[in-house]
Structure 1
């Protein structure tokens, strides 16, 4: 009985792109009405009034508006457009939510209003045009979400071949209903729910030699490449590609707050990973176990400078644990470090290459 019932349930798909409806357009209005009729269980969030009031508030910072003044300004702003047709309605197929939002320009104005003046209006406009690619969606998920919340880019490209396991959830923020969904789909969905106007492209096979050129250049060359993958071959090959295209590379180690920056845009002759990549045949690096990767990773990632607990853990791979550990606190710190670094690179406020440590055990004693 239970098995028969379960077989009839809707199977999870990999949708990650929201659908937009502008009700001022006849075709969108008809499509939206069809959506409402055919999916009566939709959850509707229509709070356009609160968004418009907030818009009036941030545009009048020197005055505390009365309820009547808010209403007057909102009506003048609507300019005769009915509230239900103002802005856009955004449908999220994976959750059956529909949300009524102001238009893109006003959404960005509201979403970034509390960034000012730490990030100026001019800088916000510059950042909205930046394209950032991220490979590896463990630390990479935290990085992507922080970039989106701070709105450091207008486009993200995400690559990871892995699906979520319960063991991943010690550091990947998501619900248990996402188990066995691709990590890139989980991240892309959360990005769409944070900011549906940011363009997201996903690569569910991860980064490969076959799709690498597309990842770096399709729709415009990346402005920044964030590398957080476990594959030694892709770590090296992606840097070769980034160097050829003069794209800066940022990596976070997830231990001792180590962040690594390679400014191939400013130093086109800079050696890959500061000259720490050993002389190896790329083909021999494919399919290595985590234990087999360690001798190659060690100089590249400065594992001799890792925390004492990380060093001990690395020696336990294949004995008491199956792979290297990662903590949620370190992953969240990595998101902050990389996002801050990407913002300063994108705004031409940071020009250096190198490795830097934000080690809490050293700083807070």
Structure 2
């Protein structure tokens, strides 16, 4: 039992009174044009006077008028006139939607979904054509593994390449993970899937997020791939050898393309099971193994199986050295934030091109900065 001094006792007493951290990740919407919503919103604010309100709706409306009038630079007076015509007699508080984030006790006033998307994607045009933005709104992506996967998910959401995203990871955040995960120290011991889902909700509350807190398992795999509609793309970034193989078997069965990023030498792997349903898993590099024996392996035990699947003989010299140190001077393979962020960009770009039918190939590709920039 640890000895507690006066400060320690005070902290323990405060912790006992403190509200238990929840795993909430879904924002709550209030439309004040609806009487029930207005009553519920009033109750929320009265019961929680500490809630912080961010009401920048007028700024959003001015920006909306600006992007809808690209041929003329509006004067402040002209902008005011157009905003006034847009809202008419409606009270400003009844314009748009109020979004409550329970985990941070914040309420944000936003324009309605269609106007929100119009504003959020306005600076994508014409890198993305208007009809392409509409196509992407309907896409569903699934991501398993939320180290590299977190960067991928956030990049996809920032670029708004989907309307729904499914996230699977069983792990919680440790301090050692923060060399590559985007989050604050207050998130320690929270599930990685909750951290990612909250980030997505704060970036874009209108994107549907579905989480699998137990990770991807044999028991929930069908729901992950098919629940509420078939996935359009599966993104695999997990460490479990059995799940790497089983998830590809499922993707192949359902004719869903698989994208994976290696987090070393900018390696990205594409398997177009939608176009090549007879394509062998991982381009034929999966060794003959009994999948039932692959659960619960240590990282050192995984290496002989991962090696042919990931072509570790082609890994960077630093990665090869690191792999030889697992179980000796380090406990697992290293990852760098720069490589993780690059992986997010590579996978997001690849998924966009697959979703828009602009990329039809399978294969393994390298964007190796050490070779490209010398």
State the TM-score, normalizing by the size of structure 1. Answer: 0.99
The count of residues paired between Structure 1 and Structure 2 equals: 365
Greater Cα shift, 8-17 or 227-236 = 8-17
Aligned match of 1:343: 352
Unaligned runs of 5+ in 2: 1-8
* CA displacement, residues 275-330 of structure 1 (integer Å, 9 cap, x when unaligned): 00000000000010000000000000110000000000000000000000000000
Alignment of 1:289 with 2:298, yes or no, is yes
Match in the other structure for 2:128: 119
Matched, 1:194 2:203: yes
**Residue of structure 2 equivalent to 1:251:** 260
SS at match of 2:364: strand
Shift of 1:82: 1.1
Once the two structures are TM-superposed, the CA of residue 76 in structure 1 deviates from its matched residue by 1.2
SS in 1 for 2:358: coil
Aligned to 2:328: 319
Shift of 1:71: 1.2
Structure 1 residue aligned with 2:73: 64
Residue of structure 2 aligned with 1:271, choices 273, 280, 286: 280
Instruction: Find runs of 4+ consecutive structure 1 residues off by over 6 angstroms.
Output: none
Select 1:76's aligned residue among 85, 89, 111: 85
Residue aligning to 1:217: 226
In the TM superposition, residue 183 of structure 1 has moved relative to its aligned partner by 0.2
Q: Secondary structure at the match of 1:95?
A: coil
* Helix, strand or coil at the partner of 2:74: coil
- Taking the aligned partners of 1:309 and 1:7, their CA distance within structure 2 comes to 47
Match of 1:175 among 184, 187, 203: 184
CA distance in 1 between counterparts of 2:75 and 2:45 reads 36
CA distance in 2, matches of 1:81, 1:240: 54
Q: Confirm or deny that 1:49 pairs with 2:58.
A: yes
Corresponding residue SS for 1:158: strand
CA separation in 2, counterparts of 1:359 and 1:328? 15
Structure 2: distance between partners of 1:67 and 1:4 = 54
Inter-partner Cα distance in structure 2 for 1:6 and 1:222: 42
- Alignment of structure 1 residues 10-159 onto 2, 5 Å: 10-159=19-168
Partner of 2:123: helix, strand, or coil?
A: helix
TM-score where L is the length of structure 2: 0.97
Gaps of 5+ in 1: none
Query: 2:221 and 2:269 mapped to 1: Cα distance?
Result: 21
Q: CA deviation at 1:80?
A: 2.1
In the TM superposition, residue 204 of structure 1 has moved relative to its aligned partner by 0.3
Q: Could you report, residue by residue, the CA deviation over 1:141-184 in whole angstroms, capped at 9, with x for unpaired residues?
A: 00000000000000000000000000000000100000000000
For residues 47 and 311 of structure 1, the distance between their equivalents in structure 2, rounded to whole angstroms, comes to 51
Measure, in 2, the Cα distance between the counterparts of 1:214 and 1:288: 25
What are the within-5 Å matches in structure 2 for residues 347-362 of structure 1?
347-362=356-371
Matched, 1:162 2:171: yes
How far residue 79 of structure 1 moved from its aligned partner, in angstroms, is: 2.9
CA distance in 2, matches of 1:344, 1:278: 30
